[in-house]
Amino acid sequence: MKNEIFRENVIVITGASLGIGRQLALKYAELGAWLSLASRNTEKLKEISEECLQRGGRAIMIPTDVTDQLMCQNLIEGTVKEYGRIDTLINNAGLGMASRFDELQDLIIFEKVFKANFFGCVYCTYYALPYLKKTQGRLVGISSLRGIFPSATADAYGPSKHAMKGFLDCLRVELAGTGVSVTTIFPGWVSTGISSRALNADGSLTEKISIHEENAMSVDKCAQTILKAIAKRKREVVMTFQGKFGQWGILIAPKVIDEMVRKDTSIDN
């Protein structure tokens, strides 16, 4: 990939303080990008912003809770105020959940996860889209294999990722001819610690790494794959062989896929 593609490219990354978002920020900084980094964790956001500067990029930090529409608006407007435009929006912020639907005492946690994973993407995209149209930019959503396949549990994570996929698929069609590309990424398990930060039915954190995450794809490999896909303006990327196989399986034998997921939740992320 030519380094010049992202040199001085104005990139907004949500969920930039941890995991995939953090690694993407570092890689883009090395390519000379102008970054606007968003996260709820101000301390970690400051750390990653400083590291991006050391690696050769420009970086500003805008503390943002993507469940708050006004904060998403502020993120976009603050980015434009600093850089004058937006070239790429990466909707990466997300919240995990580890619970059966029938274990929920109410829907507060379900709604919280949906607001982070789905509406956070909608809010940021809404305010960024006029600027992306001006630059014929790139719109990106970091989904999950659970945005393609059924899950062993009906917690909010899988449904919210399905909703994100549907939104971006529709928006891709709507934006045809504008020059704005829409890329959706479907990672499998990645070693980011997301399983330890997932919410239980009562809203508490699981605070333990899932067995599936212990030997998962490295966050560096995942970020590198995403970066290449965004550069090429790919429609979508399904990262694992299991995921690619499952795409055909769900069309040909959906009941078989249902049973496989029920018995082995390794597809979940």
Structure tokens at 240: 């694992």
pTM for this predicted structure: 0.89
Buried b (16+ CB within 10 A) or exposed e, 180-210: bbbbbbbbbbbbbebbeebbebeeeebeeeb
126 is an active site residue: no
Amino acid at residue number 38: A
Q: Which residues lie across from 91 on neighbouring strands?
A: 141
In the prediction, which pLDDT does 241 show?
61
Angle formed at CA 128 by CA 126 and CA 133, multiple of 5 degrees: 105
Taking alpha carbons only, the member of 33, 36, 43, 45 closest to residue 7 is 33
In the prediction, which pLDDT does 266 show?
45
In the prediction, which pLDDT does 26 show?
97
In the prediction, which pLDDT does 152 show?
78
Domain residue ranges in the chain: 3-267
CATH topology of domain 3-267: Rossmann fold (3.40.50)
Sheet of 181-186, strand order: 58-61, 34-37, 10-13, 88-91, 138-142, 181-186, 236-238
Taking alpha carbons only, the member of 203, 226, 11, 233 closest to residue 112 is 203
For β-strands 236-238 and 58-61, DSSP reports them as: unpaired
User: Average pLDDT of each block of 10 consecutive residues along the chain (269 residues)?
Assistant: 83 95 97 97 96 96 98 98 98 89 91 96 98 98 88 85 96 98 90 72 76 76 95 92 66 71 56
Helix (H) or strand (E) holding 17: none
In the prediction, which pLDDT does 22 show?
96
Active-site position among 28, 123, 127, 157: 157
